[in-house]
């Protein structure tokens, strides 16, 4: 393998740049030529493929976003476009791919590998931390810290005005961001898709809080919760409680930006090295991950189909901490 293509795809995540940098430099370290593919699969289809060198990834370890840009390519769902992408890779002589992204990225990579046999190793890059085969994904820790900073600030105003705040965090179908920010931010209740929490329970928690002289409360709602997002949940609770002074704060894409934390820079760099070396040693169609602080490889189709549960111990923590 003397040429490897590197790309980022799907939602960007802080730490993707550190991963690109590590992958490029690992290639160079092993005398492999690294190629950067811009805008994920879309750039692969449109032949936005350029050689990279050590300097092209200088001064990016601390930057959020992705210098290779990202996209959610609709075209790549069609075989004729995947064929085009494969032809482009062949023209450049690229024999392996490092795919940095989440579930959608790996589904595309897995099909691409099945159809054309292109060796691919994925590095889990998504703030959602929803991929099986790794304890943490690139960007999760940074997103949690960004959300926590916001929650701390909201708490100041919530307590000044004796108000209830419903704060919505990202995570798609996963409650990881909500659990970590809720526990770290001292939320009264955390609503996640992994557990059923009725709006009646939310109302009861708020009422009990008032009885215990809690004048302000923070309810963290994962965007994928079965009761809906913060707007739906809060209006259902208001229907039960009637009089309720509350505000909603949807943190949104702020969670995806900003510089990566030390933890994210570390895991991104480890995974970038692991992805390239995985390709070199014949790991085809696998995702590199870190489990119990060791680098592991999981077949891509397991990483995308197996559900990553939230440990029950984490789920019950807030019951204890919020009394
Ligand atoms: O997967 C990352 C993520 O930020 C999710 O948490 C969120 O549901 C989604 O992407 C938002 O995607 P977009 O930026 O395309 O609106």
Using alpha carbons only, give the angle 96, 39, 298 rounded to the nearest 5 degrees: 45
DSSP collapsed to 3 states, 232-301: HHHHHHHHHHCCCCEEEEECHHHHHCCCCCHHHHHHHHHHHHHHHHHHHCCCCCEEEEEECCEEEEEEHH
Residue listed under structure tokens 């070396």? 277
Residue 243: its pLDDT value, please? 87
Instruction: Specify the CATH number for 3-139+260-305; select among 3.10.20.30, 3.40.50.450, 3.30.390.30, 3.30.465.10.
Output: 3.40.50.450
Q: One fold for both 3-139+260-305 and 141-256?
A: yes
Residue 291: its pLDDT value, please? 98
Q: Which of 127, 228, 102, 112 is nearest to 177 (CA)?
A: 127
Distance CA 198, CA 118 (A): 47
What is residue 125's DSSP assignment?
B
**Atom from ligand 1 closest to the CA of residue 127:** 2
Using alpha carbons only, give the angle 258, 75, 253 rounded to the nearest 5 degrees: 20
Report the residue among 14, 66, 128, 169 best suited for mutation to probe ligand 1: largest number of ligand atoms under 8 A from its CB: 128
Would you identify the CATH topology of the domain 141-256? Answer: Rossmann fold (3.40.50)
**Atom from ligand 1 closest to the CA of residue 130:** 1
H or E element in which residue 22 lies: helix 16-29
Tell me which residue has its CA closest to atom 2 in ligand 1: 11
**219 Cα: distance to centroid of ligand 1 (angstroms):** 21
Tell me which residue has its CA closest to atom 15 in ligand 1: 11
**126 Cα: distance to centroid of ligand 1 (angstroms):** 9
**107 Cα: distance to centroid of ligand 1 (angstroms):** 16
Residue 323: its pLDDT value, please? 85
Report the residue among 170, 223, 251, 256 best suited for mutation to probe ligand 1: largest number of ligand atoms under 8 A from its CB: 170
Q: Tell me how far CA of residue 298 lies from CA of 123, 133, 186, in angstroms.
A: 11, 6, 35
Residue 78: its pLDDT value, please? 98
Tell me which residue has its CA closest to atom 3 in ligand 1: 11
128 is catalytic: yes
**172 Cα: distance to centroid of ligand 1 (angstroms):** 7
Distance CA 42, CA 203 (A): 46
Tell me which residue has its CA closest to atom 10 in ligand 1: 11
Residue 214: its pLDDT value, please? 87
Residue 199: its pLDDT value, please? 97
Could you tell me the two tokens for 159?
């307590």
Tell me which residue has its CA closest to atom 13 in ligand 1: 11
Q: Tell me how far CA of residue 73 lies from CA of 11, 78, 230, in angstroms.
A: 11, 10, 29
Could you tell me the two tokens for 17?
């740049």
- pLDDT tens string, the chain, 323 residues long: the values are 899 999 999 999 999 999 999 999 999 999 999 999 999 999 999 999 999 999 999 999 999 999 999 999 999 999 999 999 999 999 999 999 999 999 999 999 999 999 999 999 999 999 999 999 999 999 999 999 999 999 999 999 999 999 999 999 999 999 999 999 999 999 999 999 999 999 999 999 999 998 888 889 999 999 999 999 999 999 999 999 998 899 999 999 999 999 999 999 999 999 999 999 999 999 999 999 999 999 999 999 999 999 999 999 999 999 899 88
Tell me which residue has its CA closest to atom 8 in ligand 1: 172
**80 Cα: distance to centroid of ligand 1 (angstroms):** 27
**135 Cα: distance to centroid of ligand 1 (angstroms):** 20
Residue 93: its pLDDT value, please? 98
* 233 contact partners, CB below 8 Å, separation of at least 6: 166, 191, 199, 202, 219, 221, 225, 227
Q: Which of 66, 265, 253, 266 is nearest to 177 (CA)?
A: 253
Residue 158: its pLDDT value, please? 96
Catalytic residue among 128, 130, 225, 264: 128
How do the domains of the chain map onto residue ranges?
A: 3-139+260-305, 141-256
CB 137 within 8 A of CB 13: yes
Q: Which residues line ligand 1 (CB under 6 A)?
A: 11, 102, 126-128, 170-172, 223, 256
């Amino acid at each position: 393998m003397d040429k490897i293509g590197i790309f980022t795809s799907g939602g960007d995540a802080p730490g993707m740049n550190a991963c690109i940098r590590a992958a490029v430099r690992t290639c160079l370290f092993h005398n492999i030529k690294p190629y950067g593919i811009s805008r994920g699969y879309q750039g692969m289809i449109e032949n936005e493929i350029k050689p990279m060198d050590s300097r092209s990834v200088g001064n990016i370890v601390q930057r959020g976003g992705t210098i290779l840009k990202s996209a959610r390519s609709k075209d790549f769902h069609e075989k004729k476009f995947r064929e085009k992408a494969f032809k482009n890779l062949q023209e450049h002589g690229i024999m392996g791919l490092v795919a940095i992204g989440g579930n959608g990225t790996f589904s595309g990579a897995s099909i691409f590998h099945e159809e054309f046999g292109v060796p691919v190793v994925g590095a889990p890059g998504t703030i959602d931390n929803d991929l099986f085969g790794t304890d943490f994904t690139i960007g999760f820790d940074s997103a949690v810290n960004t959300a926590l900073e916001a929650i701390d600030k909201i708490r100041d105003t919530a307590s000044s005005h004796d108000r209830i705040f419903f704060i919505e965090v990202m995570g798609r179908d996963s409650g990881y961001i909500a659990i970590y920010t809720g526990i770290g931010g001292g939320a009264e209740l955390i609503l996640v898709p992994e557990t059923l929490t009725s709006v009646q329970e939310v109302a009861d928690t708020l009422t009990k809080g008032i009885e215990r002289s809690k004048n302000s409360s923070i309810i963290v709602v994962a965007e994928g919760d079965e009761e809906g997002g913060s707007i739906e949940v809060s209006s259902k609770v208001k229907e039960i409680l009637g009089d309720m002074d509350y505000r909603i704060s949807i943190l949104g894409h702020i969670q995806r930006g900003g510089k990566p934390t030390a933890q994210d820079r570390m895991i991104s760099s480890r995974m970038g090295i692991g992805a390239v070396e995985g390709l070199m040693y014949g790991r085809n169609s696998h995702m590199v991950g870190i489990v119990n602080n060791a680098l592991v490889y999981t077949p891509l189709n397991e990483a995308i189909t197996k559900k990553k549960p939230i440990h029950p111990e984490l789920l019950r923590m807030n019951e204890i901490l919020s009394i």
